[in-house]
Amino acid sequence: MDLKDVTKNLSDQTSYRIEQRFDEMMRTNPRYKNLDQANQKIILDLIAKYKAKKIHGIKPSGLTVREDLYHLYENRLKLGLTYNDLDQIKDLLTSFKD
């Protein structure tokens, strides 16, 4: 399971189901073991933000994704994000564009 699997059919899933799938991915995929609780919350907040847009029929643009990535890169030290964390979050955000 990957982040793209968690966000598949995003507008049709409840927030509880998204969190369940995210927790399942964290348990089964060793690639995401480096994410601590704060990083997981950041990812879940981003998923909730894009889910709200998708429910209203707004497809995320490249500009929106770049702006979110910029703010994460800009505040990476304050948020405690490593470059590996940022790469994984970037994969998640680019999956919303597809």
Nearest to 43 by CA among 64, 11, 60, 68: 68
pLDDT given at position 32? 79
pLDDT given at position 98? 65
pLDDT given at position 73? 93
Q: Are 93 and 69 in contact (CB under 8 A)?
A: yes
pLDDT given at position 68? 92
* Count: domains in the chain: 1
Nearest to 53 by CA among 96, 92, 94: 96
Asked if the model's pLDDT at residue 17 lies above 80, the reply is yes
pLDDT (tens digit, 9 = 90+) per residue, 46-83? 888 888 888 888 888 889 889 999 999 999 999 888 89
Asked if the model's pLDDT at residue 92 lies above 90, the reply is no
pLDDT (tens digit, 9 = 90+) per residue, 18-36? 888 888 888 888 887 778 8
Nearest to 42 by CA among 17, 14, 69: 69
Rounded to whole angstroms, the Cα distance separating 78 from 59 reads: 29
Rounded to whole angstroms, the Cα distance separating 41 from 52 reads: 16
Residue 69's domain comprises: 3-97
pLDDT given at position 66? 92
